[in-house]
Amino acid sequence: MSERRHPRLAVWKFASCDGCQLSLLDCEDELLTLASVIEIANFPEASRAVAPGPYDLSLVEGSITTEHDAERIRMVRAQSRHLVTIGACATAGGIQTLKNFADVNAFIAAVYASPQYIATLSTSTPISAHVPVDYELQGCPVNKVQLIEVISAFLAGRKPSIAAHSVCVECKQHGTVCVMVQGMPCLGPVTHAGCGAICPSFRRGCYGCYGPMETPNTTALAREWQALGAAPRDISRAFRTFYAAAEPFRKESVVHADITHDDITNGDQDDPG
C-alpha cells in the first residue's frame, strides 16, 4: 500500500518587498493545515530546508531587474509544473517599473556613490515577459484568501475562482458609499477587484494597487478626475504608481504626463559620503 505523494510547493523571490510571500505566513489559521497536505519543498523565507525540484507549483514574487534574475526565472520555469505569479511586481513589474520611465544611470547615480558596482537592467519587467506563466494573481500585496484559493485550485487541478470585475463592485457588495460621488478622485472604476475595496471604506479613493481590471475605460475615468479638479500631473502620477507599466495604466499616465525624465532625476546627487 503506497501513500499518496504530497504535491511539492516552491516559493521564489525576485525584486520585491517580500510582502506577497509573507502573505502565506500571514495565513495564521491555515498554515499548519496547508503544510500537512503539501510539501513545502523550497521556501527560503520560511525554511532552511531546500529540496531540489521538480516542483508541482511554483509561486513567484518579484520582478526581473537584473540579468542574473532573468537567467534564474528560466531555471525556475524549467523545474515547475505550474508557475503562478503573486503580486504586482511579478505580474506587472511593480513599483520598480518607475525606473522604466527614467534614465537608469541617473537613478543609480542618485542612490549609489560608486555606480560601477551596481548591476541592473534598465527596466523592471513582469515574469511573463521572460517565461510562460500559468496564472497571475494581482495585488500589492496579494489578498491571502485569494492566495489560498489559487494554491488549492492548482493542487486540485481546477481553475482558480478569482473575480475579474472592478473595485466598484466590491464597494457595492460591502455597502460602501461611493467616494467619487463625494468628490474624491478614485481609481476603483478601472482597478481589478480583490482587496475588498479597502480604501473607500477608509474614506479615501482607491489608489490602484490591484492593477487594471479587464477592459478598463481609463479615458472616461481621467475625464471624471479632471471634473473633480485633478491636475494632469496628479492623474499621471495616480496611474504611474504600483502598476505603472501595466499597459492601460501606462498609456493613460503618458497622456497626462507633464512630468519629464528631468523632473524625476534632476537635482544634485546625494552626498556620496
Partner 1 sequence: MATRTILVDYLARVEGEGALDIEVHDGRVTSARLRIFEPPRFFEAFLRGRGYAETPDLVARICGICPIAYQMSAVHAIENAFGVTVSGQLRALRRLIYCGEWIESHALHIVMLHAPDFLGFPDGIRMASEQGDAVRNGLALKKTGNALMRLMGGREIHPVNVKTGGFYRVPSRAELEPIGESLERARALAVGLVRWVSSFPFPDYERDYEFVALRHPDEYPFNEGRLVSNRGIDIDIADYETEFEERQVAHSTALHALTRRRGAYLVGPLARYALNFDRLPASVQALARGAGLPPVCKNPFQSIIVRALEIVYACEEALKLIAAYEPPECAAVTVMPRAGTGFGCTEAPRGLLWHRYEFAPDGTIERARIVPPTSQNQPSIEADLAAVASMILDQPDDVIRARCEQAIRNYDPCISCSAHFLKLSVRRT
- As measured in angstroms, the least distance from the Cβ of 214 to partner 1 is 23
CB atoms under 10 Å from CB of 83, counted, come to: 26
Amino acid letter for position 6: H
Cα–chain center distance at 147: 13
Nearer to partner 1, 102 or 178 (CB): 102
Nearer to partner 1, 111 or 164 (CB): 111
The answer to whether 18 contacts partner 1 (rule: CB under 8 A) is yes
Site string for partner 1, 160-189 (x = CB under 8 A): ------------------------------
The grid coordinates of residue 124 equal 523592471
Going by C-alpha positions, the residue among 140, 148, 193 that lies closest to residue 27 is: 148
Going by C-alpha positions, the residue among 54, 73, 53 that lies closest to residue 63 is: 73
185-204: which residues touch partner 1 (CB under 8 A)? 195, 198-199, 201-204
The answer to whether 270 contacts partner 1 (rule: CB under 8 A) is yes
Nearer to partner 1, 61 or 136 (CB): 61
What is the DSSP secondary structure assignment for residue 231, as one 8-state letter? -
- As measured in angstroms, the least distance from the Cβ of 148 to partner 1 is 15
- As measured in angstroms, the least distance from the Cβ of 92 to partner 1 is 13
- As measured in angstroms, the least distance from the Cβ of 156 to partner 1 is 21
The answer to whether 214 contacts partner 1 (rule: CB under 8 A) is no
- As measured in angstroms, the least distance from the Cβ of 76 to partner 1 is 13
Which strands make up the sheet holding 8-13, listed edge to edge?
39-42, 8-13, 55-61, 80-86, 135-137
Nearer to partner 1, 3 or 29 (CB): 29
Nearer to partner 1, 35 or 178 (CB): 35
Cβ contact 11:38 at 8 Å: no
Task: Report the residue from 66, 79, 152, 217 that binds partner 1 according to the rule CB under 8 A.
Answer: 66
Which segments within 119-214 are labelled E, that is strand?
A: 135-137
What is the DSSP secondary structure assignment for residue 54, as one 8-state letter? -
The answer to whether 54 contacts partner 1 (rule: CB under 8 A) is no
State the number of CA atoms in the 13 A half-sphere of 143 facing the CB: 16
Task: Report the residue from 48, 132, 157, 215 that binds partner 1 according to the rule CB under 8 A.
Answer: 48
Cβ contact 228:183 at 8 Å: yes
Amino acid letter for position 218: T
How many angstroms separate the Cα of 166 from the Cα of each of 169, 211, 244?
A: 6, 10, 18
The answer to whether 46 contacts partner 1 (rule: CB under 8 A) is yes
Task: Report the residue from 32, 157, 181, 229 that binds partner 1 according to the rule CB under 8 A.
Answer: 32
95-134: which residues touch partner 1 (CB under 8 A)? 95-96, 98-99, 102, 106-108, 110-114, 117-118, 120
Task: Report the residue from 7, 93, 126, 141 that binds partner 1 according to the rule CB under 8 A.
Answer: 141
**Cis (ω within 30 of 0) for the bond into 160?**
no
